[in-house]
Amino acid sequence: MTSRTTLWILLFSILLLGLLAAVRSSGIAAGTLDAGDWGALVGLSMLAALSGASVLGMFRGRAGDALQAAIAWLAIFAFLGVVYTYRYEFELVARRVTGNLIPGMAIDGVTGTREVTVPRGGGGTYVVRVALNGARATPMLVDTGASALVLTEDDARRAGIKVEDLSFSVPVQTANGPSLTAATTVQMVAVGPIVERNVRALVARPGALTTSLLGHTFLDRLESYEVRGGRMVLRGRN
């Protein structure tokens, strides 16, 4: 093994020891370190000191090489620190990219909040994927002008609703004129991390509706919803 290879191994070991020590020391402020943790922290510190002494001995008389290697590893350590610090932001960016590539894909928050961002689609509409009663999510048009959650026949059947047992006696006014719908209740409506139960809904007659509408019987349960920067933000109640 060459001295250069040995050097890189030692430097890498120091980096790993530093990361482990940082993780251990993060519990000091919270007071969560037990006797075993303190022992491990002391051991890691001793190993780091020993490795550092070995590296200094190998670089004796070669200050330039030592400085170059130190700068390289400091840059790597800084990069890893930035990635760890902004890990939630990077995850959110990835989800936003996915949401733009997949129409109707909700972009939920990554910090534990019940918040969903819906990218604007063609024609200025907002289409989001909604899961009904645990079934596979299906695209729905967010319609702030609809008084209720309105389902197509196919979406209703997919949610386990027996359409043939419903009574189509509820009159509604649609863009194509007056129509009759059937009242029902959806046990669970999920938009990303936002989950509402026992949501009143209407089922359209077969062929009367091409896309289900996410209306006010769901929207009114939210903490808020708004359009901002070309995106619709839905916030669930905590």
What is the per-residue pLDDT across 68-112, written as a single tens digit (0 to 9) for each?
A: 766 776 677 677 666 656 554 555 555 555 555 554 455 544 445
Tell me which range, 2-6, 50-54, 210-214, is most confidently predicted by mean pLDDT.
210-214
pLDDT for residue 208: 86
Cβ atoms 151, 199 nearer than 8 A: no
Widest CA span in the chain: 92
Tell me which range, 53-67, 74-88, 181-195, is most confidently predicted by mean pLDDT.
181-195
pLDDT for residue 26: 45
Q: How far apart are CA 171 and CA 174, in angstroms?
A: 10
**For residue 114, what pLDDT band results from cuts at 50, 70 and 90?**
confident
When pLDDT is averaged across residues 57-72 and rounded to a whole number, the result is 63
* Residue whose C-alpha is closest to residue 138's, from 95, 106, 164: 106
**For residue 229, what pLDDT band results from cuts at 50, 70 and 90?**
confident
* Residue whose C-alpha is closest to residue 55's, from 10, 12, 17: 10
When pLDDT is averaged across residues 24-39 and rounded to a whole number, the result is 50
| SS3 assignment, position 228 | strand
* Residue whose C-alpha is closest to residue 184's, from 197, 196, 167: 167
For residue 210, is pLDDT > 70?
A: yes
pLDDT for residue 110: 44
When pLDDT is averaged across residues 210-230 and rounded to a whole number, the result is 92
Tens digits of per-residue pLDDT, 6-15? 555 555 555 5
**For residue 158, what pLDDT band results from cuts at 50, 70 and 90?**
very high
